[in-house]
Amino acid sequence: MYDGFLTDVDGIKVGHGQDERAGTGLSLAIFEEGFSCGVDVRGSAPGTRETDLLKAENLVDKVHGIVLAGGSAYGLDAASGLMKFLGENNIGMDVTVCKVPIVVSAVIFDLSVGDPFVRPDLQMAYDAAKNASFKDSSLGNIGGGCGASVGKILGNDFAMKSGLGQSSLKINNLVVSSMVILNAFGDIFDYEKGKQIAGVYDRKNKKFLSTLNLYEKANSDYNAFNRATNTTISLVATNADLTKASCNKVSQMAHDGYARSINPVHTMFDGDTIFTAASGKVKADISLVGMMAAKSISRSIANAIYASKSSYGLYAHEDIK
């Protein structure tokens, strides 16, 4: 079921921090030597930091860290903790007078699960960075996945617990891996097994309900923000030799993994975002990397569901088998 992790790509450290009582946390990746990086944002309610610099025409072409956090817009503060850690360790872009760490970030909305007044912050990210490892196998209710949930059109009484998922693929010397914080509005499917594994769950009748069918019957003034809000954020990593523009393309293709495994996806209530970071060690075809990224994303989504445990009053996949 669990078939690899983000750190299968050499040169990446991964760390996590969470407040289990409050139901929020963060996960981060560190690239001490700097990785090429791109992004593609498809959801219409994103919370992001420094994504403009990832446009192909802009100057900076390497990043040194990525933070995937809870806390909605408040969680963007956490990136400062990773910047502080990297700066203290002389990691960053050399601007002559000092080194400036380039840290990008995206956040999910998890404020409705635990304590909305506790969010990932500078200190949580700093501590996670200090404890980051080149070998990480974390899954489920950890880091940015601590307060994640899915299937929220009817609110938390019908939603299910989700979390953090990882996977990786290898073809010869080429490695493509991913880490997903799954916090979707829609229903979740194991694409490779062809079945639904999470979503809107009717506990009384012990069955899934269709988000699409429920939405079709919703009142014209329906507002998902009155229920719970969402966003799935991810990092694809690879040892492929990719430019920033190529990383943007891989991120674009990786969203196919979302479309295969989340229905509906990229809604007005989601801020779906995928970063791609590349170490530049192996020559590879961009399209192949993109195909592998989409497959890895789908697997990481399924793994996020399989690994999550019931909490905060939310059922998990293991509770409905």
pLDDT digits (tens, 9 = 90+) for 8-22: 999 999 999 999 999
- Averaged pLDDT for residues 242-261: 98
- On whether the CB atoms of residues 232 and 262 are closer than 8 A, the answer is yes
172-to-176, 240, 250 alpha-carbon distances in Å: 11, 12, 19
* 3-state secondary structure at position 71: coil
Question: pTM of this prediction?
Answer: 0.95
For the chain, give the mean pLDDT: 95
**How many residues comprise the chain?**
321
Residue 147: Cβ within 10 Å count: 32
- Averaged pLDDT for residues 161-169: 98
**Tens digit of each residue's pLDDT (9 = 90 or more) over 258-314:** 999 999 999 888 999 999 999 999 999 999 999 999 999 999 999 999 999 999 999
> What's the rounded Cα separation, in Å, for the pair 157 and 227?
10
Q: β-pairing, 187-190 with 262-263? A: antiparallel
Joined tokens for residue 26? 């963060």
Residue 226 scores a pLDDT above 90: no
Q: Is it true that the peptide bond before 264 is cis, omega within 30 degrees of 0?
A: yes
Of the two residues 101 and 215, the one the predictor is more confident about is 101
Beta strands in the chain (DSSP E): 13-19, 24-41, 48-49, 63-69, 93-94, 99-100, 103-107, 149-150, 160-161, 164-171, 174-181, 187-190, 195-198, 200-202, 207-209, 233-240, 262-263, 273-282
- Averaged pLDDT for residues 31-50: 95
3-state helix, strand, coil in the chain (%, to 5): 25, 30, 40
What pLDDT, on a 0 to 100 scale, did the predictor assign at position 1? 46
- On whether the CB atoms of residues 303 and 317 are closer than 8 A, the answer is no
- In degrees, rounded to 5, the angle at the alpha carbon of residue 181 between the alpha carbons of residues 176 and 183 is 140
What radius of gyration do the chain's Cα atoms show? Answer: 18
* 3-state secondary structure at position 159: coil
> What's the rounded Cα separation, in Å, for the pair 269 and 44?
7
- On whether the CB atoms of residues 303 and 2 are closer than 8 A, the answer is yes
Nearest to 31 by CA among 49, 12, 10: 12
**Tens digit of each residue's pLDDT (9 = 90 or more) over 118-136:** 999 999 999 999 999 999 9
Nearest to 137 by CA among 21, 282, 27: 27
Name residues whose C-beta falls within 8 Å of residue 64's C-beta, 6 or more positions apart in sequence. 30, 31, 32, 34, 86, 91, 92, 93, 101, 102, 103
50-to-65, 76, 96, 106, 208 alpha-carbon distances in Å: 11, 10, 21, 9, 38
Amino acid at 210: S
pLDDT tier at 225 (50, 70, 90 boundaries)? Answer: low
Instruction: Map tokens 């009717």 to a residue.
Output: 202
